[in-house]
Structure 1
Amino acid sequence: MKLTIVSNYINHHQIPMASELYAKLGENFTFIQTQPMEEDRVKMGWGSEISSLPYLKLYYERPQECAELMMDSDIVVFGGIEDESYIKPRLQAGKIVIRASERLYREGQWKAISPRGLKKKHEDHTQYKDAPVYLLCHGAYVASDFQIIKAYPNKKFKWGYFPEVKEYNLESLFLRKLHLDEQGNTCVRILWAGRFLKLKHPEYAINIARYLTKEGISFHLDMVGGGEMDEKLRRMTKKYHLDQEVTFHGYQSPKNVRRFMEEADIFLFTSNYLEGWGAVLNESMNSACAVVAGHGIGAVPFLIQDGKNGLVYKNGRYEEFRDEVLRLVKDEKLRQELGRQAYETIIREWNPREAANRLYTFCEGLLEGQVIPQESGPLSIAPVISPKKGYQYTKREV
């Protein structure tokens, strides 16, 4: 089987699974990158590994070779591609295509009423509903968006991003998370990591630091990242006299971000619906953090079962977020139990090797004319969850 993945660019969230596929398929696996990576992501260390990847081809340097490979491969997975001209030749030839997509309507499903938008969606997606085209849903609300346009009926599957997974001795890892303040009392370590953008609501972290200080709780908040809200967040920190409780570390390499996670008790993931997936969730769960996350984030309903392996608050409800964080800082046993279960979720199902094995098996089935979904996790049937129902979905009993 010759399998090719085509994406706008490869990053450290995709490399581990791609490398697992290369280990299985050798020269029969290729990852085609269609454009250079954005400068701000390069600054975050995202592009540091690509020159050493034996399976990577750059379309903008070898267009003819890549175009032929996209037509000749048995199966091609297209993800992160806005230019449909890469995909159309294969669709028109009736060959097997797997699309990997984030949401169509992140800013609101009401946008589906646009006649011009619906026409474009029909051209790109709906007209192929009976063709050998399948959808990997990068987030819990993707299936709902595609359901609106009646695309890929019974052919939508759970998927996501699969960053590097580390195996730990959990007892040793929890010892690394043990921090003491100057009085010898437990100091809860809290982490926020990402770009300082409005959609990610980093101000929630500063506000919770202010609240915990007023409550007399011993903690420290590490803010890792940078961006347009940097100055505002630093002003808030000074205004609330939090210089001792909050440290800004700027952008860090992916490796250093993982070190922060390994030493954090609690990870705050505060983005809204505009966060299509959110691979920091995979990474923080793999690092056995107790996660507090907003339900609008694409990865959250797929990865978190509220109260079992993390805590979920309703998007936009700061008071609920505050109460969940307070609950965690006061309960070490709960922090560790959520951290253990989060770790198991990643080790058991949501990891690069498991994803690669499942994708390989799925593709083999397609070549034999069979669609064989998994029972749970990656490549299981994607439930149709509207954004309004995502919070309720995380409360489900499994």
Structure 2
Amino acid sequence: MQNDLKVTFFSNFLNAHQLPFCNAMSDLFGEGFKFVATEHSDGAGVSAGIKDISEEHSFCVCSYASDEAADIALKLAKESDVVIIGSAPEKYFLESVRNAVGGKLVFRYSERLFKPMYGRCIKWHSYLALQALLNRFRNYFLLSAGSYAAEDFQKLLMPKNRMFKWGYFPVILKCGEADYAVFKENKKPRILWAGRMLDWK
């Protein structure tokens, strides 16, 4: 792995779901890795366990903080060797794609587009026109957060060989001897599942 590569991840704000991945990228690339937070969280997500931790890490650039930070963010979109675009303004994505020369790689990180609750209201021709334009850039790829996302982008004629599975990467906790002893005593392990039961998922 080349340590002189510039890798930038754009999203609305940094949270615990993305932190393990960002820490790993920071370990690999050092100062060459940046996370660009494009908006300051209003704290609404804290109750759901989504805390904005953008200002707690040195690899973060908060583009909303000042004009200088905004200029740095746009420059990163233009000059980085690898760009990952999540929930962020389209200007960063378009700036990255426009400057995707040589071996530069641009990844769009996306959940599904056509969710049942409003899918019928989406203007398909607008998406098709934009995607048809983007498909011309051979260094543009999709990081699919769920199989439905890949299916939606296929409807927009994105080549299947440019789609990759993507998700959150939580820290793996290692069990100690005491934990193993509990498993031995309880031959039938108990499993707790927690999540939101959303009808469109």
**Counterpart of 2:9 in 1: which secondary structure?**
strand
Partner of 1:122: 128
SS of alignment partner, residue 141 of structure 2: strand
SS of the aligned residue for 1:125 comes to helix
Percent identical pairs in the alignment equals 24
| CA deviation map 1:19-48 (0-9, x unaligned) | 000001000000000011242223455336
Does 1:157 find its partner at 2:161? no
AA aligned opposite 2:116? E
Instruction: Note closer, same or farther for the CA distance 1:166–1:109 as it changes in structure 2 (3 Å cut).
Output: same
Work out whether residues 79 and 99 of structure 2, in 8 Å CA contact, stay in contact via their aligned partners in 1.
Answer: no
Q: Secondary structure at the match of 1:126?
A: helix
Residue of structure 2 in register with 1:86 after alignment: 92
Residue 271 of structure 1 is matched in structure 2 by 197
Normalization by structure 2: what TM-score?
Answer: 0.80
Hey, what does 2:30 align to over in structure 1? Answer: 26
2:58 is matched with 54
The structure where helix makes up a greater share of residues is 1
Give yes or no for contact 1:109–1:145 (8 Å, CA) kept in 2. Answer: no
Aligned to 1:76: 83
Shift of 1:178: 7.7
Paired residue type of 1:272? L
For residues 289-304 of structure 1, the aligned pairs below 5 Å read 296=201
**Mapped partners of 1:66, 1:7: distance in 2:** 11
Question: How many equivalent residue pairs?
Answer: 190
1:98 is the counterpart of 2:96: no
The verdict on how the C-alpha distance between 1:14 and 1:129 changes in structure 2, with shifts beyond 3 A counting, is: same
Q: Is the CA contact 2:106–2:140 (under 8 Å) kept in the aligned structure 1?
A: yes
Unmatched segments (≥5 aa) in structure 2: none
Q: Distance in 1 between matches of 2:184 and 2:70?
A: 49
Runs of at least 5 residues in structure 1 that lack an aligned partner in the other structure: 180-187, 190-263, 275-295, 297-398
3-state DSSP of counterpart to 1:267: coil
Which residue matches 1:168? 175
Q: 1:164-199 CA deviation, whole Å, 9 max, x = no partner? A: 2212248715728989xxxxxxxx99xxxxxxxxxx
What secondary structure is seen at the aligned counterpart in 1 of 2:44? helix
Distance apart, 1:86 and its partner CA: 2.2
Distance 2:173 2:28 in 1: 20
TM-score, with structure 1 as normaliser: 0.43
Q: Is the 8 A contact 2:86 2:109 kept in 1?
A: yes
**Paired residues for 1:1-398 under 5 Å:** 1-44=5-48, 46-47=50-51, 49-61=53-65, 62-81=69-88, 83-95=89-101, 96-107=105-116, 111=120, 117-131=123-137, 132-169=139-176, 172=179, 175=182, 265-269=191-195, 271-272=197-198, 274=200, 296=201
TM-fit CA distance, 1:125 = 2.3
Deviates more, 1:23-32 or 1:128-137: 128-137
